[in-house]
Amino acid sequence: MEKNYSPNFGPVNNMASDIVVGLDIGTTKVATIIGYLNNRGKIEILGHGKSTSKGVEFGLIQNLLKAQESIKTSVQIASNHARVDEINRVYAGIAARHIRTANCKHYIFRTNHNALITQDELDAMKHDVENIALPPDQKIIAIIPQKYVIEDSADGASHESMDPVGELGSKITGFYQIITGNYHEIKKIHTCISNVNINAEELILEPIASGLSCLSEEEKQRGVALIDIGGGTTDMVIFQNGHPKFCKVIPFAGSVITKDIANVCNIPEDTAEELKVNHGSCIPAKSNPNRVSTILRPHQQTPLRITDEQLARIIYSRVHNDILGFVKKELENSGCMKMLQNGAGLVLTGGGAKLRHLVELCQFDLGLNTRIGIPGIGFADSLSNELKQPLYSTALGLLKYGIEEETKGIHLTENTTDEFVSNTNDDNYTYQPAEPYGERDAKGGKLLDTLKKTFTKFFEQIS
């Protein structure tokens, strides 16, 4: 049964709850965080561990042996740090280019029009949606209610509601966003985790988790877009009225920028990553044209000499054209731009959010107020500065999600016999998977070719 993504904790017990573990399997890192809910309703961290991610590209597990070794290392470091003998279950994240989103609607006719609408009815409707016919290679990851339309048989009037519990009506129509993933890719994650003798309690869409750790309830109510820029993917989620409204995973992120620098400058990727972190910016005009970095290149007698401004031009090309270009396209497709402009705007998080001048570029390219999202909402004051970093937003959010679920309990409902509508005349609410992003574009492709042509003569002059 898919869970309901609720931002609220359940009742706090007098005794601290059992420990919960969040596991973030990223393209560049694997992060494990162990914690529990104290009797004041705040999350305490017992320990954390981070290892270099191996065998993962663009959020996809390519080499299971390497990936599970990275998971094992991260979990072991966290266990030692927390002084926990054994970890046997985790809440793990998922986000990769195989993620698809679709819209559908489902309605029920109520036999007792005078009875108040209950949460059980809404849960049963959502449970029905889980049985929607999908392509054989797809599996549902999450079902997110968008809105409800309540009709009254007496006068035929109808109205929209985000939370119809307690209202009256003869017919309820629910509109949902369905998040699906490739069955085989999902199975890889479960296999890697189980092979280190751990059970994946649940796979949670990573931007949803990140939102739990770094978005305020006020922002979620007003309307906010969270953009989580990781190593392999840029994950986005839009919240409105306190609930997720739109999700998307874009296969362009920090590692693509690093590959661009490495290919254009003909240097190793680890050197390119260091150059990006220490001297990179996404706005050439704000970079120093006189500060030069000299880098030795393998098998070449002449070192590379590159200014901060020249480096920024490479970074800007990828960030502006692809990462923010696709973010803008998806924000426009969501139909939420006006709401975001009048609401809380944009929040950037993830390791890629620390790229210099990214906030300014976002504000210019997207026309939205932008801030950096630092995780910590719902956590005790003892949360270390090491973890109060954008790159830990997902891992902390996964931990918070797990604690939230185990605190409030999981409410399962029986399936109903009400009619399910999988195809309607409303094109916006018919199951229609989004087209995948091009493989060539995701790996560099045309933009990288253009960058090389643009900078070849340039580097001949400065090398």
Residue ranges of domains in the chain, CATH in brackets:
100-178+413-437 (3.30.1490.110), 216-372+438-463 (3.30.420.40)
What number of other Cβ atoms are within 10 A of residue 158's Cβ?
A: 12
Q: Residue 267 has which token pair?
A: 């240097």
Phi and psi angles of residue 449, each rounded to the nearest 5 degrees, phi first: -60, -45
393-413 per-position pLDDT tens digit: 999 999 999 999 988 743 322
| pTM for this entry | 0.82
Return the SS3 of 93.
Answer: strand
Report the candidate in 228, 233, 211 with the shortest Cα–Cα distance to residue 220. 211
Do the Cβ atoms of 70 and 208 come closer than 8 Å?
A: no
Element (H, E) at 186: helix 183-194
pLDDT block averages, 10 residues each, the chain of length 463: 39 54 95 94 95 92 96 96 92 90 90 91 93 89 91 82 91 92 94 95 94 95 96 92 88 92 91 94 94 84 89 95 94 93 96 95 96 96 95 97 79 30 37 45 54 54 46
What was the pLDDT predicted at 452? 58
What number of other Cβ atoms are within 10 A of residue 269's Cβ?
A: 13
Q: Which amino acid is at 429?
A: Y
What was the pLDDT predicted at 25? 96
Do the Cβ atoms of 132 and 104 come closer than 8 Å?
A: yes
275-334 per-position pLDDT tens digit: 999 999 999 999 999 999 998 877 777 888 999 999 999 999 999 999 999 999 999 998
What was the pLDDT predicted at 316? 96
What was the pLDDT predicted at 146? 87
Q: Where are the beta strands (DSSP E) in 99-137?
A: 100-109
Rounded distance, CA 362 to CA 353, Å? 11
Kindly tell me the number of DSSP H helices and DSSP E strands found in the chain.
Answer: 14, 18
What was the pLDDT predicted at 71? 97
CA 128 and chain centroid, separation:
26
What was the pLDDT predicted at 86? 86
Q: Torsion angle, CA of 90/95/96/97, rounded to 10 degrees?
A: 150
Rounded distance, CA 438 to CA 271, Å? 28
Q: Which amino acid is at 259?
A: K
What was the pLDDT predicted at 422? 32
What's the first-to-final CA gap in the chain, in angstroms?
59
